[in-house]
Amino acid sequence: MNVSSLRRIGQMLLIPILAVFSALIVGALVMWIFGDDPLAAYRGLLDGAFGSARAWSTTIRKMTPLILTGLSVAVAFKAGLFNIGASGQFIIGTVCSVAVGVNFEGLPAVIHLPLALLAGIAGGMMWGFIPGALKVFTGAHEVIVTIMLNYVASLFAGWTVYAGGTQGQTPGPLWDATAGPISRTPEVFLNARIPWIFGDPYRVHWGVALALAVAILMWWVIFKTTLGFATRTVGANNKAARYAGINVKWITILTMMIAGGLAGLAGAIETLGLNHRFAPEFTGSVGFDGITVALLGQTNPIGVVLSAFLLGALDAGGARMQFNSGVSADIIQIIQALVLIFVAAPTIIRQIYRIRKPSDQVETTVFSSGWGR
Amino acid sequence: MGKRRVRITPYIIGGLIVIFVVMALLVNATPLGASNVWLRVFFGISALNFTLRASVPLILGAMSGILCERTGIINIGIEGMMLAGAFAAFVAKTGTNDWPLMNSLLFGVAAALAVGGAMGWLHALFSIRYRMDQIISGTVLIILATGVSSYLFNRDAVAEGKFGSIAIPGLSQIPVLGEVLFSNPPLTYTALILVVVIHIALFYTKWGLRSRACGEHPRAADTVGINVNRFRYMNTIIGGMLAGLAGGFLVLEAVGQFQEGMTAGRGFISLAAMIFGNWMPFGAMGAALLFGYTQALQNELLLAGVTTVPRQFVSMIPYVVTIVAVSGFVGRVRAPAAEGKVYETEGGSE
């Protein structure tokens, strides 16, 4: 590795690192203004994220789905698409993988687990196909469609595990009949579960290795294959891509399907590795957090892994922070928004720290090309 | 082919409206409605009232979108502005519970407007001054509003009282129509009046012409001496105030309390209404009423105890209708031409 490529990597890392640093400073100011103790909060945060083997395992556990939802948003960004729908795709992936996981008793693990994972990917891909196809064939903007599909997905998932009602409503198809009035699925069969790397109390499963492998795969696809080149060309200049003979429509649909499949896989891994069942309250915010992960990682798969690690650590430390210092863990979300502001508007960072704009700076993709043209 | 289709659309819409009004009158003013549950679900007074109530935040949100986008700023952060407005209204209301009710409520409205306007300013600042991608800037506003409102939300606080209905003397005595249109709380009237005001302001004033010029051809606007970015700032701030007012409506008039994430996608449905309504105030209002109607249907079906369709599927109606509307109409409407693009003056930035 020579000096110039090292400098290039340094430049790529500079803005994200300063963005996180500035977000933590502003977050501390917010806490101070509202009467919380930022030092105690950050001490609790560090303790909860890295203070012990348990803390590290929590960070890794939280990081795993974020890698995949981050990749989902990042891959779509590469083609100039904004996938706000990772959370819906995540939910559908969860439901599909659970549907396979709670059925087919007696199937050997070498078939059952991959089948359940594939079901999650397929569900997510289907949920990504809808906005992709609607964009291509009707011009509907993917942002609105994916947001609406998030609500549809969570209602649909709610129905599948619905415990039924007092007025004779029928319970959903995946409802655990032994759970009484609780809306949830039964546990998936042992053969469909992702094995532990470290079992109780650490609860780290092989899903993290799978997520890292997928990140490397996506890096290879994006930067080393014709498909990746076509995708990046579509994202950089839609018209030029069309003149160059790239099938823009197909790339758009395919990219949304891949993005959906990644988020669906996140849902499958989270369910088959960790929760072992689905209940509506498991959904969380990993889908939306994927946006921050993707942008902080500069839409580069390796960057996505790094930023997923960081956000996973923030997430993991939040509970301990709230417990130790009494500062509400909701401050994490404010810090995330601040990180997003600083990475999405590097001009602010450059002004604060008086950094000159490097001449070979690659411009970020512009999405605001209006509604569906 | 395309042209002919555009021409018959107003007649189809007009015809549907006439049929709807006739049905509503028949069901509510004659014994017809008493005999049939389904007719009551679709055309009953309660469905019509609920439609209007559900539409108000969508109307205000769509007006916010129109003001921003007509000057060239895409505002996907309406959801966040609404949530911020709702939270501000709640904090202001709970802080002044011991004031006379009307003063305290009006203070809540003022807070919603102020915080909404501040969010609009932030959006303009990010997207004009700091050249942040406008869609990402909007997303930032949503995440920020969600985070701040959760962090500061005092779960023990209770807002006491909300806006009540004001019957307009005379007009409210008209059967059916009076009950639906002329006995509403003040923010509902405000929203309906604002639609007219914004339509006139956009299409019949100098300010409106200049605003639209900034959204269609900023270079030309600049050439004739219009300060494009100043207009964009101004309209985005006013748009933020309208979205904030929508949030204020939720807290001060509809629900009476604040809940985390209470906007539940209304900001995005407003955007769909704006697109569906072709960036025209009355068109967007019509679309907002349609979306409001789907929410009312969902509500009425639940109240009527229809259990043959699972309630989750009934609840999907507004979202699915939004997708259908956006897919079916976006090709036939036209967005402002310069939308989403940073405008730089000739020979230098800022």
Residue B273: other Cβ atoms inside 10 A: 31
Nearest to A372 by CA among B74, B254, B55, B349: B74
CB contact under 8 A, B330 and A141: yes
Least CB–CB distance from B326: residue in A141, A151, A370: A141
Pairing of strands B183-184, B166-167: antiparallel
**Cα distance from A271 to chain B (closest Cα, Å)?**
22
Strands (DSSP E) along B39-89, which ranges? Answer: none
Q: Which residue of B has its CA nearest to A342?
A: B132
Nearest to A286 by CA among A344, A366, A207, A195: A207
Asked whether the predicted pLDDT for residue B346 surpasses 90, the reply is no
CB contact under 8 A, A169 and B310: yes
pLDDT at position B348? 44
Q: Sort B23 into a burial class: Cβ within 10 Å, 0-12 / 13-18 / 19+.
A: middle
Q: Could you tell me if residue A137 is inside a domain?
A: yes
Q: Could you tell me if residue A4 is inside a domain?
A: no
**Separation of alpha carbons B69 and B335, rounded Å:** 8
Structure confidence by residue, pLDDT tens digits, B144-188: 999 999 999 888 888 888 888 888 887 877 777 777 888 889 999
CB contact under 8 A, B330 and A140: yes
Q: Which residue of A has its CA nearest to B135?
A: A368
Q: Which residues of A touch B139 (CB under 8 A)?
A: 84, 291, 340
pLDDT at position A309? 95
Q: Which two tokens stand for residue A250?
A: 């197909």
State chain B's mean pLDDT as an integer: 86
Mutate to test the interface with A, among B73, B78, B131, B136 (most CBs of A within 10 A): B136
Asked whether the predicted pLDDT for residue B349 surpasses 70, the reply is no
Q: Could you tell me if residue A172 is inside a domain?
A: yes
pLDDT at position B1? 39
User: Cβ contacts of residue B90 below 8 Å, gap of 6+?
Assistant: B108, B157, B159, B251, B257, B258
Q: Which residue of B has its CA nearest to A288?
A: B143
User: Cβ contacts of residue A354 below 8 Å, gap of 6+?
Assistant: none
**Separation of alpha carbons A153 and A95, rounded Å:** 10
pLDDT at position A279? 86
B46–A contact, CB cutoff 8 A: no
Give backbone dihedrals phi and psi of A355, rounded to 5 degrees, phi first: -100, 135
Q: Which residue of A has its CA nearest to B69?
A: A370
Least CB–CB distance from A155: residue in B126, B315, B323: B315
- Least confident segment among A335-349, B85-99, B302-316: B302-316
Structure confidence by residue, pLDDT tens digits, B319-331: 898 888 888 766 5
pLDDT at position B2? 43
Asked whether the predicted pLDDT for residue B284 surpasses 70, the reply is yes
Which 3 state secondary structure label does DSSP give A233?
helix
Q: Could you tell me if residue A37 is inside a domain?
A: no
- How many distinct structural domains can be found in chain A? 1
Q: Could you tell me if residue A232 is inside a domain?
A: yes
Q: Which residue of B has its CA nearest to A135?
A: B327
CB contact under 8 A, A341 and B272: no
Q: Could you tell me if residue A3 is inside a domain?
A: no
Q: Could you tell me if residue A269 is inside a domain?
A: yes
**Cβ atoms of residues A220 and A231 within 8 Å:** no
Q: What confidence category does residue B332 fall into, taking pLDDT thresholds of 50, 70 and 90?
A: low
Q: Could you tell me if residue A184 is inside a domain?
A: yes
**Cα distance from A330 to chain B (closest Cα, Å)?**
5
Residue whose pair of structure tokens reads 């405000």 in the numeric block: B190
Q: Which residues of A touch B322 (CB under 8 A)?
A: 144, 148
CB contact under 8 A, A144 and B272: yes
**Cβ atoms of residues B62 and B125 within 8 Å:** no
**Separation of alpha carbons B25 and B33, rounded Å:** 10
Q: Within the 243-272 window of chain B, which residues sit less than 8 Å (CB to CB) from chain A?
A: 264-265, 268, 271-272
H-helix or E-strand spanning residue B184: strand B183-184
CB contact under 8 A, A172 and B311: no
Q: Within the 104-133 window of chain B, which residues sit less than 8 Å (CB to CB) from chain A?
A: 126, 129-133
Least CB–CB distance from A333: residue in B129, B131, B143: B143
User: Helices A248-269 and A109-138 meet at what angle, rounded to 10?
Assistant: 140
pLDDT at position A358? 65
Q: Which residue of B has its CA nearest to A344?
A: B132
pLDDT per 10-residue tile (average), chain A, 373 residues: 76 86 93 91 92 92 95 94 93 95 89 94 97 90 89 92 76 83 86 88 91 96 93 88 91 96 96 90 82 90 94 90 88 90 86 74 52 49
**Separation of alpha carbons B2 and B148, rounded Å:** 47
H-helix or E-strand spanning residue B166: strand B166-167
Pairing of strands A204-205, A196-198: antiparallel
Q: Sort B70 into a burial class: Cβ within 10 Å, 0-12 / 13-18 / 19+.
A: buried
Q: Within the 73-92 window of chain B, which residues sit less than 8 Å (CB to CB) from chain A?
A: 74, 76
Least CB–CB distance from B326: residue in A84, A144, A368: A144
Q: Which residue of B has its CA nearest to A334?
A: B147
pLDDT at position A214? 96
**Cβ atoms of residues A291 and A73 within 8 Å:** yes
Residue whose pair of structure tokens reads 């506003």 in the numeric block: B141
CB contact under 8 A, A144 and B268: yes
**Cα distance from B2 to chain A (closest Cα, Å)?**
14
Structure confidence by residue, pLDDT tens digits, B212-221: 999 888 888 8
Structure confidence by residue, pLDDT tens digits, B63-82: 999 999 999 998 989 999 99
pLDDT at position A164? 76
Structure confidence by residue, pLDDT tens digits, B226-262: 889 999 999 999 999 999 999 999 999 988 899 988 9
Task: Read off the pLDDT of each residue in B277-304 and give the average, rounded to a whole number.
Answer: 87
Task: Read off the pLDDT of each residue in B41-54 and give the average, rounded to a whole number.
Answer: 85
Mutate to test the interface with B, among A166, A341, A351 (most CBs of B within 10 A): A341
**Cα distance from A317 to chain B (closest Cα, Å)?**
16
**Separation of alpha carbons A321 and A331, rounded Å:** 10
Q: Which residue of B has its CA nearest to A364?
A: B133
User: Cβ contacts of residue A209 below 8 Å, gap of 6+?
Assistant: A197
Domain that holds residue A205: 66-296
Task: Read off the pLDDT of each residue in B83-99 and give the average, rounded to a whole number.
Answer: 93
Between chain A and chain B, the number of residue pairs with CB atoms below 8 A apart is: 155
